[in-house]
Copies of this chain bind each other. A is one copy, B any other.
Amino acid sequence: MKAEATLRQLGLEVPSLDELYRTNASGAHYISHFPVQNLLYLSGTTPRKDGHAYLPGVVGGDLTLEQGCEAARYAALTTLAAVQYALGGLDRVQPLVHMVGYVNSAPGFGDQPRVINGAADLFVSIFGDRGKPTRAAIGCQGLGGHASVEIIVTLLFTPGDVRPPLARDHYVR
């Protein structure tokens, strides 16, 4: 359980996916994860802390680069919530394959890569070299619930059981 021990040392906690899916503030309809052979597809995740959206807003406007970076770190934690739920823990994580990070950006903001490092660096501190995916960091115009960052990760995992995904399909609109 090295990955989870590292998280605790960093003072971070992976949120509970069950808890997360009991609410559905954005109203989106989707599932948490889906395996194709031993490649795990994941839904995009946004920053959450203590059961609430964390650091919403536009980076380079409402939020500084440093706050965007912190938001990306928490978006990564939400991804880990889905991974932990799917694989029964983080120790079956093999290399992260790909990550696209979207940064809700003010016009003229050009530091999207440094924002997304908040997610990338957390993955490296937890998984070491396995935590470094191919990636892109893209400035976007708006995200669900005014989130500042959303990341989409695809990763390889050690073969074995994968828990059926949780679905977010309550019509809370």
Measured CB to CB, the nearest residue on chain B to A113 is: B28
Residues of B within 8 A of A124 (CB): 29, 169
A26-B114, A134-B30 known; A105+B150 contact, CB < 8 A:
no
Q: Closest approach, in angstroms, between the C-beta of A133 and any C-beta of chain B?
A: 7
Select which of B109, B112, B113, B136 is within 8 A of A152 by beta carbon. B136
Number of interface residues of A (CB under 8 A): 63
Copies of this polypeptide in the complex:
3
Instruction: Name the interface residues of A23-62: CB closer than 8 Å to any CB of B.
Output: 26-34, 36, 39, 41-44, 60
Binding site for B on A (CB under 8 A): 26-34, 36, 39, 41-44, 60, 95, 97-100, 102-114, 116-117, 120-121, 124, 129, 132-147, 150, 152, 156, 165, 167, 169, 173
